[in-house]
Amino acid sequence: MNITASELKTWLLQYGQLLIEQTEYLTKLDSAIGDADHGVNMQRGATAMRQTLTETTKTAPSELLEEVAEAVLEGIGGAAGPLYASLFFGMAGAVDGETSVTPQQLGDALQAGVDSLAARGRAERGDKTMFDAAGPAIEAFRQTLDAGDDLNTAIEAAESAANLGRDETAPMQARKGRASYLGPRSVGHIDPGATSVALLFEALTELSGTENS
């Protein structure tokens, strides 16, 4: 069975829930190498996103994702707002006109979203940003599907890759964003943005079983 707007809604509601639960942890990470606002901003954005998802009447995946993009753009603010908005706008563009998507199409959409995020942030892998978790996650997701495995396996692979990518930001010296002004002192801390984006892939487990249902 294909993935519809309803499943995407479930995924993103769970993502918002995880963000709200992790507010203090994200704040703590951002206090070490940033300005201590990532947790609060993501919490505000998550609340706005969840409200949008609860109230929306959209049934087309692209329209739902566009609404989510607008909600996080305004709700998160800061640097993360435009970056997450770019991710969801990118995804929306990739599924324009579809009423539901196959796992492969979801992979293509996530790829478009992550590409759009990297372009807006002018980020490269190794800069110690969201892209260091999002990049490996989408690669793992698509490679697993390409190898003929099912959606559940691809989601597990994406989640592990995102978490690994997140952890691998610790030894990196930041080259983008506020942490880059700490120079070598940014080394030894996990990137808060990579941590929040890893939750997006963790929340994908909500879609597990969609194929079999």
Tokens (6 digits) for 204 = 């994908």
**What is the footprint of another protein within residues 78-137 (CB under 8 A)?**
78-83, 85, 120-121, 127
* C-alpha closest to that of 54 among 10, 98, 99: 10
CB 186 within 8 A of CB 173: yes
Contact 114, 91 (CB under 8 A): no
Quick one: which of 104, 99, 74 has its CA closest to 88?
74
Given the rule CB under 8 A, which of 59-67, 130-138, 143-151, 169-177 is the region that contacts another protein?
Answer: 169-177
Binds another protein by CB under 8 A, chosen from 16, 34, 107, 135: 34
Span of 10-18, 74-82, 101-109, 143-151 interacting with another protein by CB under 8 A: 74-82
Q: Does 36 bind another protein (CB under 8 A)?
A: yes
Whole-angstrom Cα Rg for the chain = 16
From the CB of 209, what's the least distance to another protein, in Å? 37
Least distance from another protein to the Cβ atom of residue 19, Å? 15
> Residue 108: CB partners within 8 Å, gap ≥ 6?
94, 142
Q: Which residues bind another protein (CB under 8 A)?
A: 27, 31, 33-37, 40-41, 44, 73-74, 77-83, 85, 120-121, 127, 175-178, 180-183, 185
